[in-house]
Amino acid sequence: MSKFQILVVEDDAPVRNLITTTLKANDYRFITAGSGEGAVAEAASHNPDIVLLDLGLPDIDGVEVIRRIRSWSNMPIIVISARAEDSDKIEALDAGADDYLTKPFSVEELLARLRVTQRRLALMKNTNNEQAFYQNGLLRIDYSLGCAYLGGDELSLTAMEYKLLCLFARNTGRVLTHKYILQNVWGSRWENDIGTLRVFMATLRKKLEKAPGSPQYIQTHIGVGYRMQKTDE
């Protein structure tokens, strides 16, 4: 099976070489850019499968690169940045990034994040082919009936819980910020009401997870948001 093509956007030569060497050793194809403008141009001309993006670029900020790419493409963008504050992560994710990896990072974690993104892309492709259903481990959603099942048993979900679950399902593998979830489920007037979101997440997890304290499906990213994980169980 041919590997995906990765666009590596990094102006620091040692870091760029580490990433490209890792990709080459694992049979990925890649192209590189050392600036924000170059990144946008390469993304437009080559249409890579995944973008690995540094935020601290010499010409335009990486967040602006995300916004420009998102104006015409949904290609997955994984941020790799030394900016470790929650506010930086939230800004990048709200702009449209799919994941956020903080420097310094291990090559094993980078490869794991790439595998997660590849699984998400495969899931999206399958979802496009089978719009009526979603399957993730024992979790199954029948969009046509508006029902969700766990191990064959129907989940008793409220309308809001079902809407939340569907949002996570359609974004499997992607970190969704509190603001993004609130805007898409409740509307823009509720985008800062994190307390309400936490209440609904707690009730949804009680119905979805065998052990809500150690969730199998919906993972918490503290201070940022939540992510639906792909599971084989």
Token pair for residue 49? 């499968």
pTM of the model: 0.66
Average pLDDT over residues 104-122: 87
User: Rounded to an integer, what distance in angstroms lies between the CA atom of residue 204 and that of residue 73?
Assistant: 31
Whether residue 140 is found in the same domain as residue 108: no
Helices (H), the chain: 13-25, 36-46, 62-70, 86-95, 107-129, 159-169, 178-185, 194-208
Residue 176, pLDDT score: 93
Tell me if 93 is assigned to some domain: yes
Q: Do residue 193 and residue 153 come from a single domain? A: yes
14 and 69 in a common domain: yes
Q: What is the CATH number of the domain that holds 50?
A: 3.40.50.2300
pLDDT exceeds cutoff 60 at 129: no
In a domain, 210, yes or no: yes
Number of domains in the chain: 2
**223 versus 119: which is more confidently predicted?**
223
Residue 233 lies in a domain: no
Least Cα distance to 180 among 220, 225, 121 occurs for 225
What is the spatial distance between Cα 217 and Cα 209, in angstroms, rounded to a whole number? 7
Mean pLDDT of the chain: 88
List the domain range (segments joined by +) for residue 65.
5-118
Quick check: is 198 in a domain?
A: yes
Residue 47 has pLDDT above 90, yes or no: no
What does the alpha-carbon distance between residue 123 and residue 138 come to, in Å, rounded to a whole number? 15
Question: Residue 123 falls within a domain, yes or no?
Answer: no
Q: Do both 102 and 43 map to the same domain?
A: yes
Q: Is residue 124 part of a domain?
A: no
109 part of a folded domain: yes
pLDDT for res 81: 92
pLDDT band at 187 (very low <50, low <70, confident <90, very high): confident
* Three-state DSSP class for residue 220: strand
Rounded to an integer, what distance in angstroms lies between the CA atom of residue 153 and that of residue 160?
Answer: 19
Domain ends where: 66, 91, 118? 118
Of the residues 87, 118, 149, which one is the last residue of a structural domain?
Answer: 118
Q: What is the pLDDT of residues 149-183, one digit of tens each?
A: 999 899 998 888 998 999 999 899 899 999 899 88
- Give yes or no: residues 169 and 201 share one domain: yes
